[in-house]
Chain A
Amino acid sequence: MRALFFRDLALALRAGGGFGLGLAFFLIVVVLVPFSVGPQSALLTQIAPGVLWLGALLACLLSLDRLLAVDWEDGALDLLATSPLPLEGIVAVKAAAHWVTTGLPLVLAAPVLGVLLNLAPSGYGVLVLSLALGTPALSMIGAFGAALTVGIKRGGLLLSLLVLPLYVPTLIFGAEAARRAAEGLDSGTPLLLLAGITLAVLAAMPFAAGAVLRVNLR
C-alpha cells in the first residue's frame, strides 16, 4: 500500500507526470477573473472566496482523467488488481496520492492567490482550512468518476459531466465557510458540515469506486 502510494507520487513528480499543471491552471483561472469582471477591488473582495474555491475545484478536475487512465492503458492496473491489496484500497491510495500532488499544493497556494483577488484579511485562515477539509473529498469523488470512465475512449468530458454534480455539496459548504469568514461571520457550521461530507466520502466512496473498477476490469 505504501509502495503504491510512493510509486504514484514519484510518477507524478517526475518529468511528464503533470505535477504543477493543476497549480498553474489554478493561477490562470484566478488571473482571468479580474479580466472578465473588472479590476474593482470591492467587487473582487466580494467574490474572492467563491472564485478561489471554484478555481481549486476545476484544477482538481483537470488532472482526474490521468488518475487511473495511465495505469489502465499500460496494463499496470490489471497487475495491481491481482495483488493482495483489494481494489478499494488501490483506489483509495491513488486518490490519496492525487490529493498530495494536486489538492495540497492548491491549499498552500490559495492564500497567495487570495492576495491577488484582494481577499478580506479575516478570510485567509478559514479559506485554507476549508480547502484542506474539502479537497480530499474532491480527490476521492474524482477517483470514483475516473473509475467509471476509465474504459471509455476520450472519457474526459464525460468525466466532468459525471463528477461536477457530485462536487456540489462540497463546493457549497466550502465556499460558504470561506465567504462567511471573509465577511466576518461565524463559519463553524459550514466547516463542520464540510468535514462531515469529506469523512463520509472517504469512508464510503472507495467501495463504490472499487466496485466500478472491478466491473471495468472484468
Chain B
Amino acid sequence: MNTPLDLDANATEPLRPEARAAAIAALDLPGNPSSVHGGGRAARRLLEDSRARLAARFGARPQDVVFTAGGTEANALAVRGLAPGRRVLAGATEHPAVLRAAPDAVLLPVLADGRLDLAALDAALAAAGPALVCLMAANNETGVLHPIAEAAGICRRHGALLHVDAVQAAGRVEAAWNLADSLALSGHKMGGPKGAGALLLRPGLDVPALVAGGGQERGRRGGTEPLPAIAGLAAAAEAATPDAALRLAPLRDAIEAAIAAIAPEARFPGRGAPRLPNTTSILLPGVPAETQVIALDLAGVRVSAGAACSSGKVGPSHVLAAMGLGADAACAIRVSLPWNAAEDAAERFVAAWAAMRARLVRVAA
C-alpha cells in the first residue's frame, strides 16, 4: 500500500515545522495571560508578541486583533457584530461560516467563472441603505479570487462596510488586506494548529463579544486564550508566504493539462478566473462527486467535494450551483495541494484519477 496522497489542503494544511515548534514551546508555558503574577506576565508576553506579529503580517494594529477559536468564529464575530442596523449582502459562493451567521443576507450573484458580479454589487448597494458586504477573498471549492480591491472601492463609495473572509487566501496570495473593514483568518488553513483564528478590525471599528466571559481580548472574546494554538497561528502566518505558494501553480496546471488530455469531457470550474495557486475543481460530468471521492479514497488519494457537514455526507455544491453549473454541480471534486506537496503529487494524482475514470466509464458503458 502506497502512502496516502493528501490533496485536501483547503480542509486543513499540514502543520508547518515553525508552527509546531512555537505551539510546543507554548505548551510548556504554565501561566494564564490574565493572571497578575509573573507566570501570567510571561504568558501575556507570548500572547501579545503573537498578536503583534500577526497584526504586522496583515497590516493591522495589534489592538485591533481579536483571537478566536478559528475562522468560523472570526466570521461570525464580524458578521453578527457589524450587522445590526445594516443590510447584509453576501456573495452567493460564501462559506457557511458567513452565510449561516447572516441568514437574512441578500445573496450577490457571481459570474460564470465564479467571480463576484461587481455591477450587481453596485446596484444592490445603491438600493440597500446602510450595508455590510461579506466577501471571501478566495473560494474554498474553486480557489477563485473575488476582485476585493474593486469591491472595496464600490463599498466605500456607498458608505458600506466590507468584511473579508480571508481564511483560504491568507498565506497563499497577497492582497491589500487593509482595504477590508474586518478580516477573518484561520490558523490551521495556514499550517498552524487547529483551534485558533483571528478577526482583524479596521482602526476605530469594534464588535461586541459573542461570548462575554471574563472580558479577554479587550472585551471582544471571553475565555482564556489558547496560547499554543495562537503561537502556532502567528508562526504559521509568517511562514506561509505567497511566494512559496506559487511553487504549487505548475503542479496544479500539470494536473489540469493531463486530465484535459485524458478526458475531453472534464471541466475545471473557475479555471478562467484568477485563482489560488494550489486549488483546482475537477468536474467529471455524470459521475457523482460522492462516488469520485470514495473511489479515490479507496485508492489512497484524499480529496473532497461540496460542503462536508458533520455527518460526513457529501452534499451538493452551492458554489458550483451559483456558477450556473446545474446538475453538474454535484459532479466536481476539489483538489487542493498542501504547502509541502511533493513534486510527484501531480503525477500520482493523475494516475489515480485516470484509473478511477476508466472504471467508472467502463461501468457506465
Q: Is the pairing of A and B real?
A: no
Write the residues of chain A forming the contact surface with B, with a CB cutoff of 8 angstroms.
none
